[in-house]
Every structure is written in structure tokens, then in C-alpha cells.
Amino acid sequence: MKTVLALDIGGTKTTAALVDLGAGAARVRRHLTGPTPAAAGPDAVLDHAISLAREVRGEESVVALGVASAGVVTAAGTISHATSALPGWAGTDLVGTFAQRLDLPVAALNDVHGHAVGEARYGAGRGAHSILLVAIGTGIGAAHVIGGQPVVGVRGAAGHVGHLPVPEAQDIPCPCGRSGHLEGLASGPGILALAARFGVRDDAGPVTDGVRLAALARERSTAAAEAYRVAGFATGRTIGGALNLLDVERVILTGGVAAVGEPWRGAVLQGIEHEAMDVVSQTEVTTATAGTHAALLGAAAWAVDLIEERGAQ
């Protein structure tokens, strides 16, 4: 059994945890979560994460720190690109800063990549040779894992399926600055915008909350359900195209939009069937099971892997 310190840093909240890793098993023994002081800048975000990490660790002996962070994380553990959710985050040296201030070996990866490793090893991906995890929430991201190892890409940017074009998103602005990408249409904010175009309203006016929109869809609001169907079908088309390229054993859906269920999920499956070649069209599609700490589990496992790899060299 190895005990690892782990951090999950997002634009809204940061969580620090002690993770126990055993033979094919992992558990978060204790954790602390606090709001990320994103508006105060990267130094404040780092200080906050370090404070949480020190508090949750206490006097515990740990072998390493694993960090899952929003943004594109390079092989050296530096943030090369980040969204406006973390202003100034690009250029932050995660590995160097945490190693110096916490006096631990450190490994860092993108939060969706970390989530996928957690699911692949300890959640819905267990027993599968390869998975594609697709996270649909405020944004849309994905990660490809083979044999428990994430395919991060030469720049750490692999998996941005939200920025693939889909016909249904034609001329719709995307948060990346382009247009016609899946994320602009089928993310949580994209679905709310789609619902507004379809005329979805409640007693207070246009619906601006995803929970309320999902409730309206379940209550047989035709327009609300149609917004989820359009978004789900486009998401499925993108996943189907990814299956044509990657031929994974299992697709895992996660995130706030994925939690809505029907009619979104049925539309996703229809989109996959529409786009995927026959040879991959029956790929298993399931829902994430590792829970809210999946990225922490993945970051911890990733850190142990890298430390063992360095030790073997």
C-alpha cells in the first residue's frame, strides 16, 4: 500500500486528498475542498492548493504528490494554455513549484486525463484494454486511455473533442474563439442557449439553469427535450467519429450533462450509430462510476507510475 498526496485544481474549486493505492484498488482516505481563488491570480491559486495539501497531509508519510489541473499540462508539468476560468494560469510551473514548497516528487497532468485514469483503473473502465472518457459539463473534453496509461499527446493537449466540428453547430460561436465546434452547441451553456433559441421558458422567463432545463425535459417539455436531443445527437456523432479513429473497447460518459439521462443519452447513442462504422458501432457505452474523486485517484496513480519509472532508469 502506498499513500499519495493528490490535488485537483479547477476554476471553481480545489481539492486536496490523501489517497491510498493498493493492488488494483484505491481510496481517498481524507480530503479537503475549498473555492479556488481564481480571480486573485495564479500565485493565490498555488498558495491555496499548498495550504490545503499541507492541512490534509498533516504528519502523514507520503511517497509523492499527484496533481490534476485545469489547462493543458506539458510533459514538464507546466501549464501551456488555460481558459479564462483561471486567469493567468498559463505559464504556471506546477511540478517545480509544488516540488520546492512541499519537498515531494511531483507529477502533473490535465484534470480530464486524470479523471480518465481514475475511471480506467478504478471505475467503469476496469477490465477494459482501452477507454475513451468523454466529459460533458461547462465544457466538453475527453481522454483516451490504453492499458491504464493516458494518451496525453506531445503537447499534453490530446482529447479536445469539444473542438471538433459538427454540422449541427454551424456558425455557433465556440468558447475557443472559433465557430462550429461541438462545445459551443452541446456543453451545458450551449444547451441552455439552444433551449433559448427553441423558446423554452418557465414562469420567470427564459431558463438559465441546467437543473431546471433538465426537469422541464423530464416533464415532457417538447422544446426542452429537443434541445437535449439535438445536443446529444451531435455529441454522439463526435464520439462515433472518434471510435472510427481510435477503436476503443469502452466509452465512458461523465459530467453534469451526462447525468441528465434521457432524452440526452438516447440521442447520444443514435448519433454514435449514425456516424460510427459498422465494425465499431456496437462499442460499449457506459457511465462513470469512480465518483467525484476520480481525478484525484488518477493523479495519484499517475504520480506513482512516474516515480517508479524514474527509479527504474
CATH 3.30.830.10 assigned to domain 127-287? The reply is: no
d(CA 137, CA 263): 16
Q: What integer pLDDT is reported at residue 312 of this predicted model?
A: 52
Per-residue pLDDT of 44-74, as tens digits, reads 999 999 999 999 999 999 999 999 999 999 9
Which three-class secondary structure state does DSSP give residue 198?
A: coil
pLDDT tier at 37, thresholds 50, 70, 90:
very high
**For residues 142-165, average pLDDT:** 97
- Whether 313 has a pLDDT exceeding 80, the answer reads no
Per-residue pLDDT of 93-144, as tens digits, reads 999 999 999 999 999 999 999 999 999 999 999 999 999 999 999 999 999 9
Higher-confidence residue of 1 and 240: namely: 240
Q: What integer pLDDT is reported at residue 189 of this predicted model?
A: 95
Which three-class secondary structure state does DSSP give residue 4?
A: strand
Asked if 36 and 47 count as a contact pair (C-beta separation under 8 A), the reply is no
**For residues 3-28, average pLDDT:** 95
In angstroms, the Cα distances linking 198 to 136, 143, 186, 217, 218 are: 21, 32, 14, 13, 16
Q: What integer pLDDT is reported at residue 311 of this predicted model?
A: 65
Q: What integer pLDDT is reported at residue 293 of this predicted model?
A: 97
- Window from 104-118, 196-210, 295-309 with minimum mean pLDDT: 196-210
176: number of Cβ within 10 Å: 14
- Whether 76 has a pLDDT exceeding 90, the answer reads yes
pLDDT tier at 294, thresholds 50, 70, 90:
very high
Domain 2-117+291-312 maps to which CATH number in 3.30.565.10, 3.30.420.40, 3.40.190.10, 3.30.460.10? 3.30.420.40
CA atoms within 13 A on the CB side of 82: 26
Q: What integer pLDDT is reported at residue 139 of this predicted model?
A: 93
Q: What integer pLDDT is reported at residue 48 of this predicted model?
A: 99
For 203, phi then psi, to 5°, come to -60, -25
Per-residue pLDDT of 228-255, as tens digits, reads 999 999 999 999 999 999 999 999 999 9
* Percent of the chain residues past pLDDT 70, beyond the cut: 99
Residue 197 CA, chain-centre distance (Å), reads 28
pLDDT tier at 23, thresholds 50, 70, 90:
confident
Residue intervals in the chain for CATH 3.30.420.40: 2-117+291-312, 127-287
Higher-confidence residue of 24 and 282: namely: 282
pLDDT tier at 307, thresholds 50, 70, 90:
confident
Mean pLDDT of the chain: 96
In angstroms, the Cα distances linking 41 to 95, 101, 225, 288, 290 are: 18, 18, 39, 32, 31
